[in-house]
Structure 1
Amino acid sequence: MKTLYFDCATGISGNMAIGALLEVCNGEKYLRNELAKLGVPGYELNVIKRDSHGIDGTYVEVLEASTGIPVDAVHEEKTNGSDYDSLELHNIHSHSHQHGLDLSLEHHSHGHCHEHEHNRSLDNHCDNHQDDHDNNHNHNHVHRTYADIKQIIEGSGITEDAKNLSKSMFHKVAVAEAAVHGKPIDEVHFHEVGAIDSIVDIVSVAILMDYIKPDRVISSVVSDGYGTIKCAHGVLSVPVPATSMIYKNEHIRFKQIEVPTELVTPTGAAIISTFAESYGLMPEMNLNKIGIGVGSRDIGGPNTLRVFLGEDVTADGETQNGDIIVINSNIDDSSGEDLGYVLEKLMDAGALDVSYAPIFMKKNRPAYRLEVICRAETREKLCEIIFDETTTIGVRYYPVQREELTRVRTMVDTELGQIEAKQVSTTSGHTYTYPEYESMKSIASELGVSMKSVRATFEKGLRD
């Protein structure tokens, strides 16, 4: 199983994720070819090697095509310094135009505004920057709505999977910003230049993840800083409101560390929540690649995001040991239809298995015992679903250990086409192949034949 592990010990931002993924897959040429299919002009992608406190990695920034200046550097000067990446609402943009301010969704790399190579004097430059910027760089202050961004992605030539991943990440940030500002999501607007920056970051991550195609993605507990940052909204506490909202909405496991500034941008939070299926320590695996994405801010140590690509070490026939959680609850006043819906919702939310057993409770009331098997990191989310969707007022949970046989997904050629299956290897050396129900169901439905005949054809394909 191809596993991708994100080490977010010093946070995560859009460009750091791009840099780390590029090192993992050596996909810069592929990325540039795919980005060309977006049809969004006015930018250049700069990919360079950079040192961060002795650690070498890849640094990525989006430059204005006409000037070669990083897009977010222009925004920093106009905002007088801001780490807060934001999908801006229309009323804020109106205010910004009067004062020469605008914000972009993604200020890359944890702080161009405080530590940018150009190192312009913001105090002296902001007084006349707006006129110079308009005259010299010919920028039109055009707004793009959230719907406009989706249309750009949907109309591009990138793969369907990359489109869906991009839209998912944009949606999470847009939902968070709309909630923070108390506005409907359709009223969230982007500034033209800021949107270019944001689109390139988010779509690049989607393109690279689709290119790598990991079987599973795991993240460390995400580290954010503390203290405050200055932006056009004023002084904000870290984590900033949009990032905090994504932490809550997406159940991201995070902690604050002793670094007095923002380490996780809203885009970074959207990225990790889109891909990570669990949070915790790196699993046991053989490493194939290590990618390091570098940020620009000096945080007193390496400002890096590390991504590890590897394979599970379990050999054929070995059992896999692991701690899991069992949740159970007795339910005597929910309908069968409701319980069926809950089962599907729990499985979709990450449960390893869900089952019901008929029981009798006090006064001989017929009831059901719900049992959920899950990993520790998904327990809280699954308990919330149980409380929201059933009539129970309490659940029990406890850790257990299990052993499971090695399973490998495969395809079996049959007279009716390929059928997906899983191969299970026992400790005694025997291997068994079982068809996947959904695959057989799909063939039976498409060809108008019985499940019984599909299963018989599968067995024949195994023998042949």
Structure 2
Amino acid sequence: MTRHVHLTPLGGLAGDMFAAAMLSAFPDMRDGVLAAVAAVLPADHPGAALMPVVSGGLSAHRFEVAAHPARAPMHYPDLDALIAGAGLPDAVRDTAAALLRLLAEAEASVHGCPTDRVHFHEIADWDTLADLTAAAAILSGLDGAGWSMDPLPLGGGTVVTQHGTLPVPAPATAALLAGLPVHDDGLAGERVTPTGACIARYIVNRLGLSPRPAGTLSAIGRGAGSRTLPDRPNILSVLAIEHANHGTPGTDRVTVVEFDIDDMTAEEIAFATDRLRGTGGVLDLTTHSVIGKKGRTATRLRLLVTPGSGDAVAEACFTLTSTIGLRLHDERRILLPRSGDVVGGLRRKAVTRPGGSVTRKAESDDLAGVDSLAERRRLARRTEEEDGE
């Protein structure tokens, strides 16, 4: 069985609403998520808690981060260092870092400064770090799940910030929402926060949206925001659907970005490809050795990019490499159903082939700490052969 998660932002979307709704739907994840949050907060911080509440007459949960007298760091590199040094599981650390970087890149784009010089204002608090870490623990714990999302409410009006009065959605939030499904439901105010937009962007870019499948409704969750709305509960609703896959391929579309380089060193190319792989919207990147003009050896970069992200990724390619031109085109992909689970502390991915047979692959990153090749192969084989049904 494969899990699919559907989000309905009736009241809106914020980081704490996402954490609360998901933990409401998947209570078995609660201890692990709260432990991850505690790991990134100061040692004397009381931590976070999941509290039952009522919003607009509906029972829900709220994800609350306790107050702390010390102010959280306000610069992106400092927050990133806290995540890197927190001792989180690799998948949680990497996802939290990717979420924070999306937020920093959005701020950098609207303020015209390098990412490493981003200075957070309104969101510079422990709540932001806790919300993003909680979201990272949840997203990594649901590796292999499908996702769908109803349109996000844009809100309206203005908000007062350190940069003066700005429109809603605020510029960084609007940058993160570009290319995502949105609508105007007639209710003003900030409906999607920067952290909420960041989570939505990550889901769309890294995990992808797919049609809500037929299956069994296995879990329901509701996460409440702190505002009281005049005509509806201020909640994010989560529906979890379990459905069987029988190896029937699905299809989607990706944008392909390609270009050749013949005047960069191997070290420069390695740095550029590492940064490009972490760029929002990039699904995969491969390099190939080719023979270019005048018989010169060149390196071809080929990036698979989510639809709508091609122009932003092209800009990153022009910034990080010496190319002066590139090619963009859309391609149709055929994808077999896949899911993920954990066996013996190791993540693995399962793919259902036509006819119903299942092949499994252990996550190589989880074997990185094993010293010998023979032992890594033994653990991988044992993980892949164990029946997880």
Answer whether TM exceeds 0.5 for this pair: yes
Judged with a 3 Å threshold, the aligned counterparts in structure 2 of structure 1 residues 341 and 259 are, in CA distance, closer, same or farther, namely same
What is the deviation of 1:225? 1.7
Q: Deviations over 1:436-460 (max 9, x none)?
A: 66677764xx137699xx589959x
What is the deviation of 1:392? 2.2
Name structure 1 gaps, 5 residues minimum.
Answer: 65-70, 72-140
CA contact (8 A) 1:143 1:189 kept: no
Asked which structure has the greater CA Rg, the reply is 1
CA contact (8 A) 1:166 1:203 kept: no
Judged with a 3 Å threshold, the aligned counterparts in structure 2 of structure 1 residues 157 and 27 are, in CA distance, closer, same or farther, namely farther
Residue identity matched to 1:239: P
What is the deviation of 1:259? 3.5
Residue in structure 2 matching 1:203, options 111, 130, 145: 130
Residue in structure 2 matching 1:333, options 252, 263, 266: 263
Local SS of the residue matching 1:393: coil
The corresponding residue for 1:236 is: 166
What is the deviation of 1:400? 2.2
Please say if 1:322 is aligned against 2:252. yes
Q: Map residues 133-152 of structure 1 onto 2, 5 A cutoff.
A: 144-146=71-73
What is the deviation of 1:356? 2.2
Residue in structure 2 matching 1:264, options 161, 178, 192: 192
Q: Deviations over 1:147-198 (max 9, x none)?
A: 899999999999897788778767877898899699x9798799xxx99xx5
CA contact (8 A) 1:247 1:253 kept: no
What is the deviation of 1:12? 1.4
The corresponding residue for 2:330 is: 399
Q: Map residues 64-463 of structure 1 onto 2, 5 A cutoff.
A: 144-146=71-73, 199=126, 203=130, 206-207=133-134, 210=137, 213-215=141-143, 216=145, 218=147, 220=149, 222-230=152-160, 235-240=165-170, 244-245=171-172, 248=175, 253=180, 255=182, 257=184, 258-273=186-201, 277-278=206-207, 280=209, 282-284=211-213, 286=215, 287-295=217-225, 296-298=227-229, 300-301=231-232, 303-311=234-242, 313-315=244-246, 317-349=247-279, 350-361=282-293, 366-407=297-338, 425-427=352-354, 443=370, 446-447=371-372, 454=377, 458=381
Task: Report how many aligned residue pairs link the two structures.
Answer: 365
Judged with a 3 Å threshold, the aligned counterparts in structure 2 of structure 1 residues 325 and 162 are, in CA distance, closer, same or farther, namely closer
Judged with a 3 Å threshold, the aligned counterparts in structure 2 of structure 1 residues 398 and 448 are, in CA distance, closer, same or farther, namely closer
What is the deviation of 1:24? 1.0
Judged with a 3 Å threshold, the aligned counterparts in structure 2 of structure 1 residues 335 and 403 are, in CA distance, closer, same or farther, namely same
CA contact (8 A) 1:357 1:370 kept: no
Work out the CA distance in 1 between the residues paired with 2:329 and 2:223.
Answer: 38
The corresponding residue for 2:53 is: 48
What is the deviation of 1:142? 5.4
CA contact (8 A) 2:14 2:195 kept: yes
Local SS of the residue matching 1:20: helix
Judged with a 3 Å threshold, the aligned counterparts in structure 2 of structure 1 residues 6 and 388 are, in CA distance, closer, same or farther, namely farther
What is the deviation of 1:231? 6.7
Residue identity matched to 1:51: G
What is the deviation of 1:368? 4.3
Judged with a 3 Å threshold, the aligned counterparts in structure 2 of structure 1 residues 181 and 331 are, in CA distance, closer, same or farther, namely closer
The RMSD of aligned alpha carbons is 5.5
Residue identity matched to 1:20: A
What is the deviation of 1:146? 1.5
CA contact (8 A) 2:50 2:61 kept: no
The corresponding residue for 1:111 is: none
Q: Share of identical aligned residues, percent?
A: 22
Local SS of the residue matching 1:321: strand
What is the deviation of 1:328? 2.3
What is the deviation of 1:308? 3.2
What is the deviation of 1:396? 2.3
Name structure 2 gaps, 5 residues minimum.
Answer: none
Work out the CA distance in 2 between the residues paired with 1:162 and 1:32.
Answer: 10
CA contact (8 A) 1:324 1:376 kept: yes
Judged with a 3 Å threshold, the aligned counterparts in structure 2 of structure 1 residues 442 and 151 are, in CA distance, closer, same or farther, namely closer
Work out the CA distance in 2 between the residues paired with 1:162 and 1:420.
Answer: 12
The corresponding residue for 2:14 is: 13
Work out the CA distance in 1 between the residues paired with 2:5 and 2:261.
Answer: 39
User: Structure 1 length as normaliser, TM-score?
Assistant: 0.56
Judged with a 3 Å threshold, the aligned counterparts in structure 2 of structure 1 residues 344 and 28 are, in CA distance, closer, same or farther, namely closer
Q: Deviations over 1:65-121 (max 9, x none)?
A: xxxxxx9xxxxxxxxxxxxxxxxxxxxxxxxxxxxxxxxxxxxxxxxxxxxxxxxxx
What is the deviation of 1:354? 2.2
Work out the CA distance in 2 between the residues paired with 1:273 and 1:455.
Answer: 38
CA contact (8 A) 1:352 1:373 kept: yes
What is the deviation of 1:218? 4.5
Judged with a 3 Å threshold, the aligned counterparts in structure 2 of structure 1 residues 293 and 41 are, in CA distance, closer, same or farther, namely closer
Judged with a 3 Å threshold, the aligned counterparts in structure 2 of structure 1 residues 285 and 145 are, in CA distance, closer, same or farther, namely same
What is the deviation of 1:313? 4.5
Residue identity matched to 1:203: A
User: Structure 2 length as normaliser, TM-score?
Assistant: 0.65
Local SS of the residue matching 2:310: helix
Judged with a 3 Å threshold, the aligned counterparts in structure 2 of structure 1 residues 334 and 205 are, in CA distance, closer, same or farther, namely closer
Work out the CA distance in 2 between the residues paired with 1:430 and 1:163.
Answer: 33
